[in-house]
Amino acid sequence: MKAKIFIKYKDGILDPQGKVTGKALNSIGINGINSLTIGKYIEMEFGDVSKDEANQIANESCKKLLVNPNTQTYSFEIINE
Amino acid sequence: MNKCAVLVFPGSNCDNDAYFVLKNLFNIEVDFVWHKSSNLDSYNMILIPGGFSYGDYLRTGAIAKFSPIMKEVVLKSKKGIPIIGICNGFQILLECGLLPGSLINNKNIKFLSQNVTLQVHNDSTIFTSRLKVGDMLSMPIAHKEGNYIADDDTVKKLEDNNRIIFKYLENPNGSQNDIAGIINENGNVLGMMPHPERACDKILGSDDGKFIFKSIIERFK
């Protein structure tokens, strides 16, 4: 079982990396993109735990370390692989 | 007792500068204290130096926050021991919650290594007693994540309670309200991005940083 964790800046927090990358795509002729933000993707592999436990572990990890609640938001999904 | 602890994390790189300045220019006793230690009882000042603790992995200061020594720093902060976090030290203090807000990427994404001018905004703190409001201090910055950000309420509280003690004269990194250094509610914890320890001798271009250390040291002399 795996958690796929996605972390991104909250709306309104400056994301210069995303902004510049969006502009770069525009400058090579890829149009139609309104905005682009760059975040983090974390994969977490579990041992012998239930789906509920995996949910709990992923959530606690985000809250205690992986995410800075002042500037970031997160979401995750638990998948069987 | 008149002794300062300079904390050392894997990746700290301004620890020697801080040690040199305190020991040789101010003649006070200084010890390097490894992050795995959990006792700071014999110190009446704690300095968290700049650098890249744990390689800045995940977020600046995020992993250092869980070092054993930081639990002790939090306890000492409650006892009123002066604590100064410079650059990465500031980032660690924010992650620990000893100071409010966060530091994110500089507005122009670049690592900035340059001299800046700071303006003193509060001279009645233990860190600025040798200074006057309006004084200009020249010292270097060297960071990529020095852009201070907090919600409007927090910034208003900082402003209203005079807790922004240093502001950039020309904002180099996008920090809200030109914030360069803030203190906690009790006034014994200072976090700042510029490096006063690199500006304590004219041979380095400025010795304005001395006033900050002089202010703290005078308090316990």
Where residue B112 falls (left for φ over 0; alpha for ψ -120 to 50; beta otherwise) is beta
Q: Which residues in chain A have Cβ-Cβ distances shorter than 8 Å to B151? A: 70
Check pLDDT > 90 for residue B19. Answer: yes
Cβ–Cβ under 8 Å, residues B94 and B53: no
- Compute the residue count for chain A: 81
In this model, does residue B155 exceed pLDDT 90?
yes
Q: What's the average model confidence in pLDDT over B166-179?
A: 97
pLDDT at position B37: 95
* Closest approach of A65 to chain B, Cα-based (Å): 7
**pLDDT tens digits along B52-78:** 999 888 999 999 999 999 999 999 999
CA atoms within 13 A on the CB side of B217: 19
Point out which residues pair with B117 in neighbouring strands. B138
Contact check, Cβ <8 Å, B62/A68: yes
- Tell me whether residues B104 and A71 touch, CB distance under 8 A: yes
Q: What residues of B are in contact with residue A13 (Cβ under 8 Å)?
A: 104, 149
Please answer yes or no on whether A70 and B151 come within 8 Å at the CB atom: yes
The total number of residues shown for chain B amounts to 221
Interchain proximity B109–A71, CB inside 8 Å = no
Given pLDDT bands bounded at 50, 70 and 90, which one contains residue A12?
A: confident
User: What DSSP line would sit under B9-34, residue for residue?
Assistant: -TTB-SHHHHHHIIIIIT--EEEEEE
Tell me the percentage of chain B whose pLDDT exceeds 90: 94
Q: What is the pLDDT of residue B221?
A: 59
- Chain A contact residues (CB < 8 Å to B): 9, 13-14, 16-17, 20, 65-66, 68, 70-71
pLDDT for position B2:
79
Contact at CB, B58 and A20, closer than 8 angstroms:
no
User: Could you tell me if B107 lies within 8 Å of chain A, comparing CB atoms?
Assistant: yes
Chain B residues with CB inside 8 Å of A71's CB? 102, 104, 149
Q: What pLDDT score does B145 carry?
A: 94
Catalytic residue list of B: 87, 195, 197
What average pLDDT does this structure show over B135-162?
97
Q: Which is higher by pLDDT, B2 or B8? A: B8
Q: Is the pLDDT of residue A52 over 70?
A: yes
Task: Nearest by CB to A14, from B95, B101, B107: name it.
Answer: B107
The pLDDT, as a whole number, for residue B1 is 54
Strand positions, DSSP E, chain B: 3-8, 29-34, 45-48, 83-86, 102-104, 112-120, 136-143, 147-149, 164-168, 179-183, 189-192
Residue in chain B closest to A9 (alpha carbons) equals B104
| Global confidence as pTM | 0.91
To which CATH superfamily is domain B3-220 assigned? Class I glutamine amidotransferase (GATase) domain (3.40.50.880)
pLDDT value of position B44? 93
Instruction: Name the β-bridge partners of A41.
Output: A6
Please name each of the domains of chain A with its CATH number: 2-79 (3.30.1280.10)
Chain A CB contacts of B106 below 8 Å: 16
The model's pLDDT over B93-144, given as tens digits with 9 standing for 90+, comes to 999 999 999 999 999 889 999 999 999 999 999 999 999 999 999 999 999 9
pLDDT band at A14 (very low <50, low <70, confident <90, very high): confident
Q: How many CA atoms lie within 13 A of A18 on its CB side?
A: 16
Domain ranges of chain B: 3-220
Could you tell me where the beta strands, DSSP code E, fall in B17-80?
29-34, 45-48
For B163, residues 6+ apart whose C-beta sits below 8 A from its C-beta are B122, B157, B182, B183, B184, B185
Distances (CA, A) of B113 to B144, B194, B207: 9, 10, 18
Average pLDDT, chain B: 95
**φ, ψ of residue A61 in degrees (nearest 5):** -60, -40
Q: Which residue of A23, A65, A74 to mutate against B (max B Cβ within 10 Å)?
A: A65
Would you state the pLDDT for residue A16? 83
Reduced to 3 states, what is the DSSP secondary structure of residue B112? Answer: strand
Contact residues, chain B, for A16 at CB < 8 Å: 105-109
B residues 47-86 closer than 8 Å to A (CB): 58-59, 62-63, 66
